[in-house]
Structure 1
Amino acid sequence: MPAEWEPHEGTWLSWPRREGISFPGRYDAVPALWRAMVTTLATGEHVYVNVGDEAQEAEVRAVLFGHEAVARTALDASAATSLATTVRGDRVSLHDRVSLHRIPTDEPWCRDHGPTFLVRDGELTLIDWRYNAWGGKYPPYDRDDAVPSRIAELLGVRAFHPGIVLEGGAIDVNGRGTVLTTESCLLNPNRNPSLGRAEIEAYLREYLNAPHVVWLGAGIAGDDTDGHVDDLTRFVAPRTVVTAVEADPADVNYGPLRENLHRLRAAHDQDGRSLEVVELPMPGAVEWEGQRLPASYANFYVGNEAVLVPTFAHDNDAVALDVLRRCFPGRRAVGIDATALVWGLGAFHCATQQQPLAVHT
């Protein structure tokens, strides 16, 4: 499995449904965020969008191609200006770089229900993990579970079927043989109750070509996935990770994130070399109707030309953007207000799935 910062052929997203459960009573604020993701990423790669039927396809086309204005309220000013210029000046390019596919989904979290793409001997392949909506929490999920096989059929690529439950947000790789994950998720009995640590490591080694696993502990408050690593710690280079750290000792996330920081400082990569650990702040408590939401800057997504960074109208937004700009100096770090997105308990990494560039496609 290539690292996320390695060249992409494209990025996959699943368009949200008004009747879905992710954004109850809040859907109207969401399509502009998907448009912001698509237009930002399309400057550097193809964007594949899953839609359910003719009616949803018409809705998506209207949002993406029906007007030239970029939703400036969702983007920081400089990014909005750049994207507006790009779309106005090269509308054909946007059409050419975005394609819609009739692959119905239950919810829009393509990181978790989508395939894990691999490059094997220069050839694109994918893994079709089993999917059970984060431990059976949100039935029905049969359409989501079918997405990888539908994409494999569409692309004409080989699919591997490990037969275990695993979501894309539960793992993060350096592309060299090390994978990050959490005990609270991958060892949770609501996923694979008959499998222990050694068995899970064997699957990761066999299917991801990742012989070394760095285990973190628990996730952040409000995360209904039981602690996905993509809200906590991410590889930004083969030996470097950024990890979320809460500065307020009174915050519920302080202890778990401090424990993960200690584990990372003692960890090593597949070659036995210590990891370089860069601290990423947290945005404080983001709540909706008294419910703590899993807001984290670690849920960024690395595209070919841009890094999508969730922001939350907090003083630490600028700090997080600066950290990630320094981690990815050849890319634009684009801050997009993700408050409406985290109402659905996810952010940009949760909504995207990279398709790596392969020699043979």
Structure 2
Amino acid sequence: MPEETHPHEQTFMSWPTELIWGADIADVRDDIAGVARVIAGFEPVVLLAGPRDVKAAQRACGSQVEVVSIPVDDLWMRDIGPTFVLDGKKLAGVDFHFNGWGGKQEHGRDSGVAREILAMEKVARIAAPIVGEGGSIEVDGVGTLMATESSLINNNRNPGKTKADIEAALTQTVGATTFIWVKGVKGKDVTDCHIDALARFSEPGVVVVSTPPEDAPQDVWTAAYDQAHAVLRSAVDARGKRLELVELPEPEDVGRRGEGFLATYVNYYVVNGGVVLPRFGDKKADRDAVSIIRELYPGREVVQVGVDTLGEGGGGIHCATQQMPKRT
């Protein structure tokens, strides 16, 4: 699996449905359309929508976004779509058998999205021997993989499987050779604490870590952050080198938000020539996040997008996107 900075052929996204989002459907569709339009300024975007939603999605996203008619339940393309891998010029997609994050939600249509995309693109499908989601893994492109134990070593996805079993499956499917596991949190959010809301590789050897405010209340989340920081400070990557950690402070002033609101800048998305970063309305934190990301990704344009309704759904920009890498 190549790193996210590897050139993309295109980005896949998905159009949310009223069945899932109810009264928030208009607002979340505004968020998704806004993200899609920004990405389309950098690279092609293919957005999946149910047959009845194609025209509305096309109007909202504009002519730069290609909307295709494939039935979906929700917008979390990182988790429901295929995870693409490369072997020279040979491209394949790993199907991690999405099961609604361990059966927490019914996603009958979304469980088939990976297979549908691979068939549409005429890309070989690799059926993973484990259940997981694209957001549950983070790679540096040279063999190192980060993940939370809570999201993968979990009976709601992989009953009876050990850490060694799951590592073997990830070596087989995405080519990982070195594993960095952080504990995470089970049962407190729908994903069981995905790594892509916590820590990301900006390049081999450099990890961007979401950092709560100093006065954040001590709870299971701050304990998980502390544990992750400790693990990452002592970890070595596939090259045998210690990691450089870059803290990316979370916003402090996001107004009145729900308990599950995802206020982390780490859930950004790297595109061809740019980085799409969330904006939360905390002016200082928003500015600081842009400054840090610009230093980490020199030469790339950083564009901030408001995704408040996505955040209320417990996700962000990275969760809503999935890259298809260019064949080398």
Output the TM-score relative to the length of structure 2: 0.94
Q: Say if 2:302 is the partner of 1:337.
A: no
Deviates more, 1:343-352 or 1:119-128: 119-128
Pick the aligned partner of 2:225 from 232, 257, 261. 257
Q: How does 1:97-112 map to 2 (within 5 A)?
A: 97-112=64-79
**8 Å contact from structure 1 (residues 113, 168) kept in 2:** yes
**8 Å contact from structure 1 (residues 297, 320) kept in 2:** yes
**How many residues are paired up?**
325
Q: Say if 2:280 is the partner of 1:312.
A: yes
CA–CA separation in structure 2 for the residues paired with 1:44 and 1:251: 40
SS of the residue aligned with 2:18?
coil
CA–CA separation in structure 2 for the residues paired with 1:289 and 1:352: 23
Q: What value does the CA root-mean-square deviation take over the aligned residues? A: 1.8
CA–CA separation in structure 2 for the residues paired with 1:189 and 1:17: 29
CA–CA separation in structure 1 for the residues paired with 2:168 and 2:187: 29
Pick the aligned partner of 1:198 from 135, 149, 164. 164
Q: Identify the residue that residue 136 of structure 1 maps to in structure 2.
A: 103
CA–CA separation in structure 1 for the residues paired with 2:87 and 2:66: 25
In structure 2, do the counterparts of structure 1 residues 37 and 172 end up closer, same or farther at CA, with 3 Å as the change threshold?
A: same
**8 Å contact from structure 1 (residues 8, 303) kept in 2:** yes
Quick one: which amino acid aligns to residue 160 of structure 1?
A: I
**8 Å contact from structure 2 (residues 260, 313) kept in 1:** no
**8 Å contact from structure 2 (residues 8, 272) kept in 1:** yes
Percent same amino acid at aligned positions? Answer: 36
CA–CA separation in structure 2 for the residues paired with 1:155 and 1:201: 28
Q: How does 1:1-361 map to 2 (within 5 A)?
A: 1-19=1-19, 21=20, 23-53=21-51, 55-65=52-62, 95=63, 97-139=64-106, 141-219=107-185, 223-246=189-212, 247-252=214-219, 253-284=221-252, 291-314=259-282, 315-359=284-328
* Runs of 5+ consecutive residues of structure 2 not aligned to the other structure: none
Quick one: which amino acid aligns to residue 17 of structure 2?
A: R
Deviates more, 1:333-342 or 1:272-281: 333-342
**8 Å contact from structure 2 (residues 148, 193) kept in 1:** yes
SS of the residue aligned with 2:101?
helix
Deviates more, 1:338-347 or 1:197-206: 338-347
Q: Displacement of 1:121 after TM fit?
A: 3.0
**8 Å contact from structure 1 (residues 219, 231) kept in 2:** no
Q: Displacement of 1:153 after TM fit?
A: 0.9
4+ residue runs over 6 A deviation: none
Write the deviation string for residues 73-108 of structure 1: whole angstroms up to 9, x where unpaired: xxxxxxxxxxxxxxxxxxxxxx3x522212111111
In structure 2, do the counterparts of structure 1 residues 254 and 57 end up closer, same or farther at CA, with 3 Å as the change threshold?
A: same
Q: Displacement of 1:271 after TM fit?
A: 1.5
Q: Displacement of 1:284 after TM fit?
A: 3.6
In structure 2, do the counterparts of structure 1 residues 249 and 39 end up closer, same or farther at CA, with 3 Å as the change threshold?
A: closer
SS of the residue aligned with 1:203?
helix
CA–CA separation in structure 2 for the residues paired with 1:313 and 1:219: 27
Q: Displacement of 1:340 after TM fit?
A: 1.6
In structure 2, do the counterparts of structure 1 residues 14 and 213 end up closer, same or farther at CA, with 3 Å as the change threshold?
A: same
Q: Displacement of 1:137 after TM fit?
A: 0.4
Write the deviation string for residues 98-131 of structure 1: whole angstroms up to 9, x where unpaired: 2221211111100000000111231111111111
**8 Å contact from structure 1 (residues 243, 298) kept in 2:** yes
In structure 2, do the counterparts of structure 1 residues 13 and 128 end up closer, same or farther at CA, with 3 Å as the change threshold?
A: same
SS of the residue aligned with 2:41?
coil
CA–CA separation in structure 1 for the residues paired with 2:254 and 2:137: 24
**8 Å contact from structure 1 (residues 43, 305) kept in 2:** no
